[in-house]
Amino acid sequence: MALDKLLENEAQAEIERIRADAQARAEQIVAGAQERARTLVESRTRQLANQRQAELVRARSAADLDSNAQRLTSSDTLQAQAFKVSEQYLHSSVTSPEYPMILAKLISEALQVLPNAEAVEASLSEHDAVRQALAQLGRTLDVRVNEQVKTGVRLVGPGGKSSIQNTLTGRLDRVRGELAPQISRLLAE
């Protein structure tokens, strides 16, 4: 019996050793799996945080672009309205009592460029003011109807071969490019 007992004890010891080795190996496997899982979770968390941050940056950029586009559209609309109001004011100025003086200045400037002008063209509604302006300047020129010329005059040279136009709306059109940045800056304030 002692041999049986000895073999049984040896077998029991071998089983315990195998069990202990298996337990240690299982703990290593579990620890390795837990480490890989923790690393994977941390990696995925960082990846999601980076994606979230990138999405926030894209969203902010899109919002900034949209805001700037709306601001530019608004500025362009207000700028167009400012020029439209200016043009309306210039068109309404032809009925003011000061308009013949304004025309005298426009005619005088045009005569500096075309001193031998033989005719003045203007809208029919402005003819009285043109005649008053010519009288102020002490000039006699043929006054002709040209409905394309409003808020000013067009001087025609001998034989109609040369001409110069000087109108208030033409002046506004010429300075539009220079005024646009100033108007935009004023609108932005």
- Contact of 137 with 110, CB cutoff 8 Å: no
List, for residues 122-152, the tens digit of each pLDDT value: 999 999 999 999 999 998 888 999 999 999 9
Torsion of CA 133, 137, 142, 144, to 10 degrees: -30
Model pTM above 0.75: no
pLDDT score, position 10: 81
- Contact of 116 with 157, CB cutoff 8 Å: yes
CA distances from 187 to 87, 128, 135, 174, 177 (A): 19, 39, 43, 21, 16
**Distance, CA of 100 to CA of 122 (rounded, Å):** 13
List, for residues 11-46, the tens digit of each pLDDT value: 788 888 888 888 888 889 888 888 888 888 888 888
**Distance, CA of 65 to CA of 89 (rounded, Å):** 35
List, for residues 63-106, the tens digit of each pLDDT value: 778 776 666 666 667 777 877 888 888 888 888 899 899 999 99
Please report the sign of the dihedral spanned by the C-alpha atoms of residue 31, residue 34, residue 36, residue 42.
negative
Q: Which of 3-7, 130-134, 171-175 has the lowest mean pLDDT?
A: 3-7
CA distances from 1 to 7, 11, 12, 15, 128 (A): 10, 15, 16, 20, 146
The single-letter code of the amino acid at 6 is L
The single-letter code of the amino acid at 14 is E
CA distances from 132 to 76, 118, 137 (A): 39, 17, 9
**Nearest 5°: phi and psi at 155?**
-90, 140
